[in-house]
Amino acid sequence: MKTEAEHRTGLLYGFGAYGLWGLVPLFWPLLIPSGAVEILAHRMVWSLAVVGIALLALRRWAWIAELVRQPRKLALTALAASVISVNWGLYIWSVNNGHVVEASLGYFINPLVTIAIGVMVLGERLRRVQWAAVGIGALAVVVLAVGYGRPPWISLVLAFSFAAYGLIKKKLDMGGLESLTAETALLFLPALGYLLWLGAQGRSTFASEGLGHSALLAATGLVTAIPLVFFGAAAIRVPLSTLGLLQYMAPVFQFGLGVLYFHEAMPPERWAGFSLVWAALVLLTWDALRTARRSRIRLAAASAAAAPVSGAAVTASTPAPAAPPAPVAPASPVAPIAPVAPTREPA
């Protein structure tokens, strides 16, 4: 059983992970005049360097040979790398082109999109409250499309790409550090080739904008890896239901930055659309907490029903023998086994 101190430590790691993800819109504008694709390429290259050093320190290399021997798993890893590249690249472009609020919407509606994909792809069955939340989310997209004068395509691409990435990672079933290493390793050569091509064309900003700019581009590896390390530390210390609530920190911070720091416009129709999304998320969260509470009650009842009868009770209910008993070897004691909560690697 996890101690209270471990739980508090896990919460701090969770706040750190989602807080950093929420504040990352402040970092990408520092990299201007680099374009979104150049920033993305640097992020891929330097992320591999950071996670490579981490794996070297932890001496966790055995999984590489296993991955190479499984073509299907390797193909899924390549697909995951492609999908997350779209997500990363579009997010960087959105922030540096004045669409922080619309980008935050993508991560607000991501849980709803994930549920919809679960129904369409995995054949999962939804409860009535979940159907209501998905319906309200769909209505919100219509309202926002009217407000923007176009579909909120940035939000939709970010939400669907991240949901698809989560689905692929679910099928891969790899640890967070290992999967990030595999994905960035597959992206490393194309990214490095693009950066070398930019340099040959005289369009690279890595060396032309000064040492400080070069250091910031190299720091994209740390910006990618540190929140993931914090997330991994949180995932093994706090319940997944708690992580599910903490995940809303990131888009809340991003939305706040978009409105209060970047001063992006929020006309009434956008407020209406966002309000519908938030209402859907409140429903979804309430249903998840209610379902988790019922599951805990059922598990506790099942554990109580399965508890072994004490040795004293068995002795009291056994009639005494008429004749003096012969010596009997003592029975082996059987200790009750407490249910162990399953652990899950971070996605």
Return the closest-CA partner of residue 54 out of 179, 174, 235, 229.
Answer: 229
6: pLDDT strictly greater than 90: no
Q: CA-CA distance, 142 to 277, in Å (whole number)?
A: 11
Return the closest-CA partner of residue 161 out of 82, 243, 48, 247.
Answer: 82
Q: CA-CA distance, 93 to 41, in Å (whole number)?
A: 13
Return the closest-CA partner of residue 37 out of 50, 28, 48.
Answer: 28
| pLDDT of 342 | 33
Say how many CA atoms lie within 13 Å of 37 toward its Cβ.
10
The overall average pLDDT reported for the chain is: 83
Instruction: Tell me if 231 sits within 8 A of 169, measured CB to CB.
Output: no
325: pLDDT strictly greater than 70: no
Instruction: Tell me if 188 sits within 8 A of 45, measured CB to CB.
Output: yes
328: pLDDT strictly greater than 50: no
Q: Which residue has the higher pLDDT, 289 or 150?
A: 150
Return the closest-CA partner of residue 345 out of 63, 22, 104.
Answer: 63
Q: CA-CA distance, 141 to 308, in Å (whole number)?
A: 54
What's the predicted TM-score (pTM) here?
Answer: 0.80
| pLDDT of 265 | 92
Query: What average pLDDT does this structure show over 30-41?
Result: 95
Structure tokens at 2: 């996890």
Structure tokens at 194: 């693009």
Query: What is the full DSSP assignment across 164-178?
Result: HHHHHHHHH---HHH
Q: CA-CA distance, 135 to 96, in Å (whole number)?
A: 32
Q: Which amino acid is at 32?
A: I
| pLDDT of 308 | 61
Return the closest-CA partner of residue 277 out of 22, 99, 114, 106.
Answer: 106
Range in 38-42, 168-172, 200-204 the model is least confident about: 168-172
Instruction: Tell me if 254 sits within 8 A of 25, measured CB to CB.
Output: yes
The stretches of the chain forming alpha helices (DSSP H) are: 4-23, 36-58, 62-68, 71-96, 100-108, 110-122, 128-148, 153-172, 176-200, 211-218, 220-235, 240-246, 249-256, 268-305, 311-316
320: pLDDT strictly greater than 80: no
| pLDDT of 242 | 75
How long is the chain? 347
pLDDT digit string (tens) for 202-261? 999 998 899 999 999 999 999 988 888 888 788 778 876 677 778 889 999 999 999 999
Q: CA-CA distance, 2 to 233, in Å (whole number)?
A: 13
| pLDDT of 57 | 83
Q: CA-CA distance, 340 to 296, in Å (whole number)?
A: 13
> What's the N-to-C CA distance of the chain in angstroms?
23
Structure tokens at 121: 């792809």
Structure confidence at residue 165 as a pLDDT band (50, 70, 90):
confident
SS3 118: helix
Range in 42-46, 48-52, 72-76, 332-336 the model is least confident about: 332-336
